[in-house]
Amino acid sequence: MKLLCVLWVLCGLSSLLPALDREAFTVAKYDLEVRLEPKQQRLGARGKITLRNDSTHPQKIAALQISSSLDWRSIRVDGKVVQFVSQPYVSDIDHTGALSEAIVTLPAEIKPRDSVELEIGYEGVIPLDTTRLTRIGVPEEIAKHSSWDQISPSFTAVRGAGYVAWYPIATEAADFSEGNSLFEVVDRWKAREAGSQFTARVGMDRESEETPPLVICTSARESLMEQTGRAQRTSAECQWGRLGTVTPTFAMARYDNWLKSPLNLLSLPGHEEGAATYSKALEPAAKFVSGWFGTPSAPIAIADFADPNAAPFESGTLLMASMAAEDSKLAGINLVHELVHSAVPSSRPWVYEGLAHFAEAMYRQQQGGRQAALDFLGLHRAAFLDAEKDLAVAPQNGAQKNAGQPLATTFDETYYRSKAAYVWWMLRDMVGDDALKQAIGKYRADDDKDPKYVEQLIETAAKRDLGWFFDDWVYQDCGLPDFRVLSAHPWKTEKDVQFITVTLENLGKAGAEVPFTIRFDGGEITKRIEVRGKSTATMRVELAGVASEIVVNDGSVPESDLTNNVFKISGP
How far is 391 from 478, CA to CA, in rounded Å? 8
How far is 336 from 342, CA to CA, in rounded Å? 10
How near is the Cβ of 249 to Zn ion at its closest, in Å? Answer: 13
Q: What angle do CA 150, 151, 156 make, to 5 degrees?
A: 85
The site for Zn ion (CB under 5 A) is made up of 314, 353, 356
Nearer to Zn ion, 281 or 340 (CB): 340
Q: Are strands 197-207 and 25-37 parallel, antiparallel or unpaired?
A: parallel
Q: Are strands 214-216 and 42-53 parallel, antiparallel or unpaired?
A: unpaired
CA distances from 42 to 34, 90, 203 (A): 10, 22, 12
Q: What angle do CA 166, 171, 174 make, to 5 degrees?
A: 95
Nearer to Zn ion, 27 or 318 (CB): 318
Nearer to Zn ion, 168 or 345 (CB): 345
The values of phi and psi at residue 316, to 5°, are 60, -125
How near is the Cβ of 347 to Zn ion at its closest, in Å? Answer: 14
How near is the Cβ of 307 to Zn ion at its closest, in Å? Answer: 21
How near is the Cβ of 334 to Zn ion at its closest, in Å? Answer: 10
How near is the Cβ of 299 to Zn ion at its closest, in Å? Answer: 15
CB neighbour burial string for 121-154, b if at least 16 within 10 angstroms, e if fewer: ebbbbbeebbbbbbeeebeeeebbebbbbbbbee
How far is 325 from 4, CA to CA, in rounded Å? 75
Nearer to Zn ion, 138 or 383 (CB): 383
Residue nearest to Zn ion (CB): 356
How near is the Cβ of 44 to Zn ion at its closest, in Å? Answer: 31
Nearer to Zn ion, 355 or 478 (CB): 355
Nearer to Zn ion, 345 or 481 (CB): 345
Nearer to Zn ion, 353 or 388 (CB): 353
How near is the Cβ of 316 to Zn ion at its closest, in Å? Answer: 8
Nearer to Zn ion, 448 or 505 (CB): 448
CA 110 to chain centre: 32
Rg (CA), the chain: 28
How near is the Cβ of 353 to Zn ion at its closest, in Å? Answer: 5
Q: Are 206 and 229 in contact (CB under 8 A)?
A: no
> DSSP states of 8-75 as a string?
HHHHHHHHHSPPP-TTSEEEEEEEEEEEEEGGGTEEEEEEEEEEEE-SSS-EEEEEEEEETTEEEEEE
